[in-house]
Amino acid sequence: MRRPALTDEELFSVLLGDKDTFGIFVLMPFSGVSSIEELERFNDNLWFHVHAQLAHTMAERMLNPVWRGPLITRAYVIECVAAAAKLFGAFHLPDADEMIPEIVAEPYVAFALSLHTVVDCSQTARMRWQRVTVICNIAKSFHITPLDFLTQIPDAHDWLLRVTSSPDELRKAELQRLDALHPDRVTRRIADLRRSLTQRVEGHYVEVVSQILGLNMAVGEAGYWEMRAAHLQRIEERIAHVWPGAALGATPAPPDDA
């Protein structure tokens, strides 16, 4: 498959516009917000900043003919997210030591990334170019730019999903995400994070940090299986839309020549 000729700015725009470049993001804790809507706005701005930085790095490395290995490492993602969180004012508490954000940011981000995927760190430049090439080829069939395809064509990402994945691959990826959120695993992750913070933060600041991170909450089974079932149902609905007849329990779609 021939690689498309894109400038660094064009490649950056495609990577940033491709929703599947980045995974689910988690809410970073901000003090002083008055509503969940305000918290979400803070996080929308934070994560756009993070995604733009990651997309810029990926584009730069994809265009570097001598680059080898993963485009993005987990350590680099942690560094970027932690820096952005501190820049946007996350982890601050009134009357708390000003060093708290510095102490908390990277351990908390590492904890969050153990539960949610922000970007696929296993991808190489070759793998990402394959996806970008598919995007460019489909956009060409519409006689529009790749970015216009991603942002203006309804169901553009369903088109991409159809030609780059399969129902079984989508189910497997979503099940892995849900398994990572099982209460038993989350409880263990929280305990590990508390131990890590206890080693870094002296005295009463451990409780201050626990407060800002919400680590005193009880993590149990309540709601998990309901959430899991609802999410899997949504996945099957998307599969039915992208691959007619492929959803579990669905009537197989007729052949194309029927």
Q: Specify the pTM.
A: 0.82
Q: What are the structure tokens assigned to 38, written together? A: 């305000």
Contacts of residue 35, defined as CB under 8 A and 6 or more positions apart, other chains included, come to none
Q: Which of 36-45, 66-75, 107-116 is predicted most confidently?
A: 66-75
SS3 content of the chain, % helix, strand, coil (to 5): 65, 0, 35
Read off the pLDDT of each residue in 47-51 and give the average, rounded to a whole number.
90
Distance of CA 62 to the CA centre of its chain: 20
Rounded mean pLDDT of the chain?
83
Would the pLDDT of 35 be above 50?
yes
Read off the pLDDT of each residue in 2-12 and give the average, rounded to a whole number.
90
Residues of the chain with pLDDT > 90, as a percent, come to: 32
For the CA atoms of 187, 193, 195, 196, the dihedral, rounded to the nearest 10 degrees, stands at: 160
Contacts of residue 180, defined as CB under 8 A and 6 or more positions apart, other chains included, come to 114, 115, 116
